[in-house]
């Protein structure tokens, strides 16, 4: 089906972006009997081999499934650094770390109590998280030596042991549940759209009642007339007309697309939230028992709290085998993350600039990572805590050296530094987490910062317009503790159900 064939077809809804949210919306709206087309800027199938298995490092580095040239700054006047976001069918769920988490009850209760989203407290979200989890039943994998040592050291240090990463509110050493079937990644595209729609697309028809799927197709602008959605303009110049447009480009591309389309009744991109992280590189003694390189995946998760309130705002996990150092020693990595940060950044785009091939190009993305004292103190304490675990018995004979960058700077240099130097090091050596959210937040219409509705009947609807819905990570009122895949799927499921209940 060519772009002009697509443009001639009458659509009820265009869904922009085939990440977790877009796959949910396209599937649910197609199942509701609507002629739905799911338009994705990145490539379709076949999936590159690197994204199929348990090697999450190779998946995240797969150039055909991430946005080339995407850069962010952590502070407004800071240097740019590369930033990873998924691209292609499945979006982030095709390249992410596979770790399934739900966020804690405190997170959703804060959506209700602090962000004014009355219908989004923990008890309200729970059934939607259950629905999301049923699409990703998940599996655990055995711990490699480094993950095992981290678990043992944490247990010896007084952390609880037991439970799974998908348990809410549970601290201590948890088994990581992964979005896999057997040894194979289960992306959101696998879970929601599957082979039927892909085959139908190739044949130019939909053969399972699902949406028509259109990869390699960038949406340049959302079209409106008199404040109502008319459809979308593709980068190719063709137009897909529809009375309903659902934007699911992810927390960076979505505000960029809305701003580029002139849809600024509300402050899109004013806020951006992300989890700051830091990586410790471990040079291992070559004992011959290291995890195979194709199993570069998290198997155990340590969650704990920076303070006495038990809020579980810190996490750490090991990826057992990353690579070999120049001297041939196997390397592992230990990632430490702050999961309830207070720092915020922004996504800024010039008005109505033309959409180039890179959906987020032209966007000035500032993560704001570690710009508050509270965040600096908590991430510093987390790194010190993990460094302490590394000196304990379970790591004896396993780790020869620990580095705080990829140039071989030993951890002692950091541990002996004063707090100011320590903080500057963390701020200038950001870890690889990339969990952007909240750039088009849900909220009450009366709150000037709300970009989309949060109440039943207008969930995800872009305030100030008719027929435009946003349903991806950008609408999360705030981050949750842990990864975002299940929470994003849960929110998308709920927005889809609300749309179906209330009509176009």
Contact set for ligand FAD, span 49-88 (CB under 6 A): 60, 84-88
Kindly tell me which residue out of 95, 173, 259, 462 binds ligand FAD, with binding defined by CB under 6 A: 95
Nearest to ligand FAD of 101, 346 (CB atom): 101
Kindly tell me which residue out of 270, 365, 485, 499 binds ligand FAD, with binding defined by CB under 6 A: 485
Nearest in space to 308 (alpha carbons), one of 152, 499, 134, 171: 171
Kindly tell me which residue out of 28, 37, 62, 93 binds ligand FAD, with binding defined by CB under 6 A: 93
Q: Which helix (H) or strand (E) holds 225?
A: strand 219-225
What DSSP assignment string belongs to 440-458? S-B--TTSTT--B--STTS
Q: What backbone torsions phi and psi does residue 197 show, to the nearest 5 degrees? A: -65, -40
* Min separation Cβ 482 and ligand FAD, Å: 7
Asked, as a colleague might, if the bond just before 360 is cis with ω within 30 of 0, I would say no
Does residue 306 touch ligand FAD according to CB under 6 A? no
HSE, side-chain direction, 13 A CA sphere, residue 218: 19
* Min separation Cβ 286 and ligand FAD, Å: 28
Does residue 190 touch ligand FAD according to CB under 6 A? no
Contact set for ligand FAD, span 239-268 (CB under 6 A): 248-250, 253, 257
* Min separation Cβ 243 and ligand FAD, Å: 19
Site string for ligand FAD, 391-430 (x = CB under 6 A): ----------------------------------------
Does residue 42 touch ligand FAD according to CB under 6 A? yes
* Min separation Cβ 250 and ligand FAD, Å: 3
Cα 54 to Cα 212: distance, rounded to the nearest angstrom: 29
Nearest to ligand FAD of 355, 368 (CB atom): 355
Q: Segment contacting ligand FAD (CB under 6 A): 97-105, 112-120, 157-165, 370-378? A: 97-105
Does residue 335 touch ligand FAD according to CB under 6 A? no
What DSSP assignment string belongs to 227-263? TEEEEEEETTS-EEE-SEEEE-SHHHHHHHHHHHTT-
Cα 351 to Cα 388: distance, rounded to the nearest angstrom: 49
Site string for ligand FAD, 199-218 (x = CB under 6 A): -------------------x
Cα 233 to Cα 246: distance, rounded to the nearest angstrom: 14
Instruction: Report in angstroms the alpha-carbon separations of 346 from 35, 219, 237, 447, 474.
Output: 35, 22, 29, 18, 11
Cα 163 to Cα 136: distance, rounded to the nearest angstrom: 17
Does residue 176 touch ligand FAD according to CB under 6 A? no
Question: How is residue 344 annotated by DSSP?
Answer: -
Does residue 330 touch ligand FAD according to CB under 6 A? no
* Min separation Cβ 405 and ligand FAD, Å: 19
Does residue 442 touch ligand FAD according to CB under 6 A? no
Q: Segment contacting ligand FAD (CB under 6 A): 39-47, 284-292, 420-428, 462-470? A: 39-47
Residue nearest ligand FAD, Cβ-based: 19
Cα 313 to Cα 100: distance, rounded to the nearest angstrom: 16
Does residue 301 touch ligand FAD according to CB under 6 A? no
Does residue 431 touch ligand FAD according to CB under 6 A? no
Q: Segment contacting ligand FAD (CB under 6 A): 19-27, 321-329, 366-374, 448-456? A: 19-27
Nearest to ligand FAD of 169, 401 (CB atom): 169
Question: How is residue 388 annotated by DSSP?
Answer: H
Cα 83 to Cα 10: distance, rounded to the nearest angstrom: 37
Cα 297 to Cα 17: distance, rounded to the nearest angstrom: 26
* Min separation Cβ 372 and ligand FAD, Å: 22
Does residue 20 touch ligand FAD according to CB under 6 A? yes
Spacing of C-alpha 344 from chain mean position: 16
Kindly tell me which residue out of 15, 26, 29, 39 binds ligand FAD, with binding defined by CB under 6 A: 39
What DSSP assignment string belongs to 291-324? PPGGG-SEEEEEEE-SSTT----EEEEEEEEEEE
Kindly tell me which residue out of 47, 51, 96, 315 binds ligand FAD, with binding defined by CB under 6 A: 96
Cα 400 to Cα 396: distance, rounded to the nearest angstrom: 8
* Min separation Cβ 462 and ligand FAD, Å: 15
* Min separation Cβ 448 and ligand FAD, Å: 24
Q: Segment contacting ligand FAD (CB under 6 A): 102-110, 276-284, 345-353, 477-485? A: 477-485
Q: Specify whether the CB–CB gap between 107 and 303 falls below 8 A.
A: no
Q: Specify whether the CB–CB gap between 290 and 321 falls below 8 A.
A: yes
* Min separation Cβ 147 and ligand FAD, Å: 15
**Pairing relation of β-strands 13-16 and 36-39?**
parallel
Cα 104 to Cα 125: distance, rounded to the nearest angstrom: 11
Cα 462 to Cα 473: distance, rounded to the nearest angstrom: 14
Binding site for ligand FAD (CB under 6 A): 16-22, 39-42, 60, 84-88, 91-93, 95-99, 101, 218-219, 248-250, 253, 257, 359, 434-435, 472-473, 483-486, 488
């Amino acid at each position: 089906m060519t772009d002009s064939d697509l443009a001639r077809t009458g659509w009820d809804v265009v869904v922009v972006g085939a990440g977790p949210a877009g796959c949910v919306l396209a599937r649910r709206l197609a199942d509701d009997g609507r002629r739905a087309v799911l338009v994705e800027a990145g490539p379709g199938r076949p999936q590159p081999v690197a994204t199929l298995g348990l090697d999450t490092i190779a998946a995240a580095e797969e150039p055909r499934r991430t946005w080339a040239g995407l850069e962010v700054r952590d502070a407004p006047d800071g240097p740019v650094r590369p930033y990873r976001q998924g691209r292609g069918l499945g979006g982030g769920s095709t390249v992410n770390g596979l770790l399934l988490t739900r966020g804690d009850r405190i997170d959703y209760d804060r959506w209700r109590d602090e962000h004014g989203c009355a219908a989004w407290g923990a008890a309200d979200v729970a059934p939607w998280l259950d629905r999301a989890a049923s699409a990703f039943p998940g599996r655990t994998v055995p711990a490699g030596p480094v993950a095992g040592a981290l678990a043992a050291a944490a247990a010896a240090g007084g952390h609880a042991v037991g439970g799974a990463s998908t348990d809410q509110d549970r601290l201590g050493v948890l088994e990581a549940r992964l979005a896999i079937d057997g040894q194979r990644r289960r992306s959101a595209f696998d879970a929601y759209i599957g082979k039927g729609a892909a085959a139908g697309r190739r044949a130019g028809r939909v053969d399972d009642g699902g949406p028509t799927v259109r990869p390699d197709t960038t949406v340049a602008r959302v079209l409106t007339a008199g404040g109502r959605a008319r459809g979308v303009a593709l980068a190719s110049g063709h137009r897909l007309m529809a009375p309903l447009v659902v934007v699911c480009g992810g927390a960076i591309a979505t505000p960029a697309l809305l701003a580029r389309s002139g849809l600024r009744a509300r402050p899109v991109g004013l806020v951006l939230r992300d989890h700051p992280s830091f990586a410790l590189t471990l040079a291992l003694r070559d004992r011959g028992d290291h995890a195979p390189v194709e199993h570069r995946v998290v198997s155990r998760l340590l969650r704990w709290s920076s303070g006495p309130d038990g809020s579980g705002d810190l996490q750490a996990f090991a990826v057992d085998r990353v690579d070999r150092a120049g001297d041939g020693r196997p390397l592992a990595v230990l990632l430490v993350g702050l999961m309830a940060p207070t720092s915020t950044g922004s996504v800024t785009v010039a008005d109505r600039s033309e959409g180039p091939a890179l959906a987020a190009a032209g966007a000035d993305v500032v993560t704001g990572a570690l710009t508050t004292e509270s965040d600096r103190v908590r991430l510093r304490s987390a790194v010190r805590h993990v460094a302490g675990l590394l000196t304990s018995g379970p790591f004896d004979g396993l780790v020869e050296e620990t580095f705080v960058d990829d140039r071989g700077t030993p951890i002692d240099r950091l541990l002996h530094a004063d707090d100011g130097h320590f903080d500057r090091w963390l701020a200038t050596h950001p870890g690889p987490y990339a969990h952007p959210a909240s750039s088009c937040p849900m909220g009450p219409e009366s709150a000037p910062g709300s970009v989309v509705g949060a109440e039943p009947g207008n969930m995800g609807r872009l305030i100030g317009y008719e027929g435009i819905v946003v349903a991806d990570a950008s609408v999360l009122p705030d981050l949750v503790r842990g990864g975002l895949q299940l929470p994003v799927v849960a929110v998308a499921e709920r927005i889809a159900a609300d749309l179906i209940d209330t009509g176009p």
